[in-house]
Chains A and B, each alone.
Chain A
Amino acid sequence: MAIDILMPALSPTMEQGKLAKWLKKEGDKVKPGDVLAEIETDKATMEVEAIDEGVLAKILVSDGTDNVAVNTPIAVLAGEGEDVSAAASSARAPAAPAPEAQPAPTPDMQAEGLAQRPAPDGIQGTDVTPVAEPAAPAVITNRTTHDAMAEIPEGTEMVTMTVREALRDAMAEEMRKDGNVFVMGEEVAEYQGAYKVTQGLLQEFGPKRVVDTPITEHGFAGVGVGAAFTGLRPIVEFMTFNFAMQAIDQIINSAAKTLYMSGGQLGAPIVFRGPNGAAARVAAQHSQDFSAWYSNVPGLKVIAPYSASDAKGLLKSAIRDPNPVIFLENEILYGQSFPVPKLDDFTVPIGKARIHREGKDVTIVSFSIGMTYALKAAQELEKEGIQAEVIDLRTIRPMDTDTIVASVMKTGRCVTVEEGYPQSGVGAEIAARIMEHAFDYLDAPVIRVTGKDVPMPYAANLEKLALPTVAEVVQAAKAVCYR
């Protein structure tokens, strides 16, 4: 019986990839272990090996096809003794390339709310179907436009790029400008970055400025801080922030506190960056959001961008900042595309939130991947006549209290959204600040939508339950609106 060979996934977060090259042709005999083809994503490349013995009867997806969805049949294998031509003709029609995971971004910032984690929607029974197209903004979008325009001059050409590319460009631009900037970390150079964020940097800047380190987080974080004491500007990449717990002593005790302890004589202009929070199906030790942890510490700045333009503009600002900056990226967002201004030197100020979407009924405050829930929820709420104002914090510390408070004074209601744990989380801090600065304006208690108070489970269904959902955000927003 003919066997379908399916497009494999390189990682739990991969939804599609490119079929780069067939190494076998139709009619070739294959044995288990033979390499049939090479596939690649923006993150990595992999060889597809045969599992069964037989003859490659038909190739369904040709060399160089982009956006092949995972699990699409890419070829048909005729089993032993089977008629090759019959097997070939039994093949289904060649699979069409999967639709783009998201519509091509437009300069309209509203389009940014379309990043997708596999199955990011609601809990059973209350699933909210992700909106494929941004709903026509029914409420004023001027504020959004104006806000964006404050950082992006009118008439600026926008180019579409992924968060990953934006981060890489930010580093490359700053490295071109300043010879004191270098990047160090595990697999940043020859491997081109574990998540391909440093792709091409070694080729442009050489091994002196793109430094592969041993697997030794505590040690290389300290080396980075020591180098920064002398005025160099290291960008220390952690493969993920989970591993930075090994290094947290150097980050907090050495990087964050030295300026104070030295009476202002000596500081550490250093950026610690890498993916933070949950990816998908990587279980408890690889799925923690550290936003609240670092935001607790005076002497640090903490940034957690959502869009590619913010990722680029804020990373450039972080590299130039004379203080230690924790730059929290998100693996799920790396491959998401956004419009990014085509400017020679585009920066975004640290410490300024952005009103991503204006509304009058309820304020939703989020950051990083939390924005995906917030924006989808806002679209859902709009259908029910609730106009949500969505604030992207972008910087967790220093927190832009003014923007939050001004919004709450207008709406009287607030929901916070984050993937981190509830206790002492970013949402808890926001709620406290709203009480301190806008208590009399509140028409309802602030509700926090957070990751659940459990280590991240591995099982797909449990993982889904552990993360926040769009439905929870919608429900919370309706609850504070007493609807």
Chain B
Amino acid sequence: MAVAARKAGRAGSGAANKSTSTKGQVRKAAPNTPQFDKDQDLSAYNDMLLIRRFEEKSGQMYGMGLIGGFCHLYIGQEAVVVGMQMATREGDQVITGYRDHGHMLACGMDPKGVMAELTGRRGGLSKGKGGSMHMFSKEKHFYGGHGIVGAQVSLGTGLAFANHYRENGNVSLTYFGDGAANQGQVYESFNMAALWKLPVVYIIENNRYAMGTAVTRASAQTDFSKRGVSFGIPGEQVDGMDVRAVYAAAQRAIEHARTGKGPYILEMQTYRYRGHSMSDPAKYRTKDEVARMREEHDPIEQVRRRLLEGWKLSEDELKAIDSRVREIVNEAAEFATHDPEPDPSELYTDILL
């Protein structure tokens, strides 16, 4: 309990913290947090719910043995990618690490294709050859899906390099975690991005644990928004559980990058409810801590409350949304369960062009 309180309080103690969360209290939007209109709340609710239900289903299917290997669920962090995507425009690219299902869904990639990739079937987005950590979509400007912690930061900087080279006005949204933030190539990339004023927004999803290592045990500087200071890269800490705060910060950051001012860092203070992967012993944090985050800061619950109380939607209307989302997820699961495995001939394809 003491641990939970300290952890929950840590986020609120940072001087640069834009949110107003304090020990054990419900995080309220800061006065400058923009309000969403009804459509925005509905859209965010729908998109976050899809990720939540999809990931819950993935967890079930993993338990049934339909998904193998590593499977990293995004549950709890939905507001980050959904809020960011709301501020993008067509052509902006997204790249992330291995906790990537939510990003793919938020980019509009087909849930059936994602789920069938998780089950290693021929209808998967990578024909079953990539798996949970490796999916891509040129059409949706999603560049993976990378399994080497931190590698996507250099790659995402390269996407920005290409935007700069082509002068196309697009911005690269490069996601990584608090764990990856300690990799050397992150700072090599920060340096080049700042030096060449590349249009990239670095989104550090600080979910407080790199696998099982709390940020305080791994990071000398736990304010990740300051990680670009020596390169002159502006950064801010954002309440990553509040989709409105994420969206507002995303607009500032993307505008900065798009207008030729160079990179921008957003530290998203978020939380993952589930383990690092499916085989997480969960010994590094208390059940109370997790329960408290779920009860008091859940990103979806926040929007749901606004829809009910602010926008006066009925429970039935929300149930209708919920069942539509469940239907999409069930269809995806159904497809991913019955789609055949790749043809053995696929073993030797797609190695070289």
A residues in contact (CB < 8 Å) with B: 182, 208, 213-214, 216, 218-232, 249-250, 253-254, 258-267, 298-299, 301, 322-323
Q: What are 24 sample pairs from A and B whose C-beta atoms fall under 8 A apart?
A: A208-B165, A216-B188, A218-B184, A219-B185, A222-B151, A222-B157, A222-B158, A223-B155, A225-B158, A226-B143, A226-B158, A229-B159, A230-B93, A232-B162, A232-B165, A232-B166, A253-B146, A258-B144, A259-B352, A260-B130, A262-B134, A265-B136, A298-B351, A301-B352
**Interchain CB contact under 8 A, B154 and A259:** no
Residues of A within 8 A of B157 (CB): 219, 222-223, 226
14 additional contacts, CB 8 Å, given A226-B155, A301-B352?
Answer: A216-B188, A216-B191, A222-B185, A223-B157, A226-B154, A226-B161, A229-B162, A231-B162, A259-B351, A261-B130, A263-B126, A266-B136, A299-B351, A322-B353
Q: Which of A223, A258, A265, A267 contacts B158 (CB 8 A)?
A: A223
Nearest 6 A/B pairs, CB to CB: A226-B158, A222-B154, A219-B188, A263-B127, A226-B155, A261-B134
Residues of A within 8 A of B343 (CB): none
B110 to chain A, nearest CB (A): 13
Asked if B195 is an interface residue, CB under 8 A from chain A, the answer is yes
**Interchain CB contact under 8 A, B351 and A254:** no
A221 to chain B, nearest CB (A): 7
Residues of B within 8 A of A253 (CB): 146-148, 151
Q: Which of A214, A258, A265, A322 contacts B192 (CB 8 A)?
A: A214
**Interchain CB contact under 8 A, A267 and B353:** yes
Given the known A-B contacts A214-B188, A263-B350, are A258 and B154 also in contact in the complex, defined by CB atoms under 8 Å?
no
Cα separation A213 to B125 with both chains bound (whole Å): 35
Residues of B within 8 A of A219 (CB): 154, 157, 185, 188-189, 191-192
Cα separation A219 to B189 with both chains bound (whole Å): 6
Interface residues on B, range: 35 or more
Cα separation A221 to B185 with both chains bound (whole Å): 10
**Interchain CB contact under 8 A, A227 and B165:** yes
Q: Which of A208, A222, A263 contacts B155 (CB 8 A)?
A: A222
A337 to chain B, nearest CB (A): 34
A325 to chain B, nearest CB (A): 10
Closest to B172 in A: A226
B residues in contact (CB < 8 Å) with A: 93, 95, 124-130, 134-138, 143-148, 151, 153-162, 165-166, 184-185, 188-189, 191-192, 195, 349-353
Cα separation A298 to B165 with both chains bound (whole Å): 30
Cα separation A298 to B95 with both chains bound (whole Å): 24
Cα separation A259 to B144 with both chains bound (whole Å): 11
A446 to chain B, nearest CB (A): 28
B183 to chain A, nearest CB (A): 9
Cα separation A155 to B185 with both chains bound (whole Å): 52
Cα separation A230 to B155 with both chains bound (whole Å): 11
Residues of B within 8 A of A262 (CB): 126, 130, 134-136, 144, 350
Residues of B within 8 A of A231 (CB): 162
Q: Which of A214, A263, A264, A323 has the most CB of B within 10 A?
A: A263
Cα separation A301 to B353 with both chains bound (whole Å): 11
Given the known A-B contacts A214-B188, A219-B191, are A263 and B124 also in contact in the complex, defined by CB atoms under 8 Å?
yes
**Interchain CB contact under 8 A, B154 and A218:** yes
Residues of B within 8 A of A232 (CB): 162, 165-166
Residues of A within 8 A of B162 (CB): 226-227, 229-232
Residues of B within 8 A of A266 (CB): 136, 138, 143-144
**Interchain CB contact under 8 A, B151 and A263:** no
Q: Which of A218, A263, A298 contacts B188 (CB 8 A)?
A: A218
Cα separation A259 to B350 with both chains bound (whole Å): 6
Cα separation A94 to B292 with both chains bound (whole Å): 90
**Interchain CB contact under 8 A, B185 and A218:** yes
Given the known A-B contacts A220-B188, A249-B148, are A226 and B156 also in contact in the complex, defined by CB atoms under 8 Å?
yes
**Interchain CB contact under 8 A, A214 and B191:** yes
Cα separation A220 to B153 with both chains bound (whole Å): 11
Residues of A within 8 A of B185 (CB): 218-219, 222
**Interchain CB contact under 8 A, A230 and B159:** yes
A332 to chain B, nearest CB (A): 30
Residues of B within 8 A of A218 (CB): 154, 184-185, 188
Q: Which of B95, B157, B159, B352 has the most CB of A within 10 A?
A: B352
B260 to chain A, nearest CB (A): 14
**Interchain CB contact under 8 A, B161 and A261:** no
Closest to B158 in A: A226
Given the known A-B contacts A263-B126, A263-B130, are A223 and B165 also in contact in the complex, defined by CB atoms under 8 Å?
no
**Interchain CB contact under 8 A, B161 and A227:** yes
Cα separation A260 to B185 with both chains bound (whole Å): 24
**Interchain CB contact under 8 A, A223 and B352:** no
Closest to B142 in A: A266
Residues of B within 8 A of A263 (CB): 124-130, 350
Residues of A within 8 A of B127 (CB): 263-264
Cα separation A70 to B351 with both chains bound (whole Å): 49
B81 to chain A, nearest CB (A): 19
B116 to chain A, nearest CB (A): 11
B278 to chain A, nearest CB (A): 20
**Interchain CB contact under 8 A, A299 and B138:** no
Q: Which of B137, B159, B353 contacts A226 (CB 8 A)?
A: B159
Residues of B within 8 A of A261 (CB): 126, 129-130, 134, 136, 144-145
**Interchain CB contact under 8 A, A227 and B159:** yes
Residues of A within 8 A of B155 (CB): 222-223, 225-226, 229, 250, 254
**Interchain CB contact under 8 A, A213 and B165:** no
Residues of B within 8 A of A264 (CB): 127, 349-350
Residues of A within 8 A of B138 (CB): 265-266
Q: Which of B124, B166, B185 has the most CB of A within 10 A?
A: B185
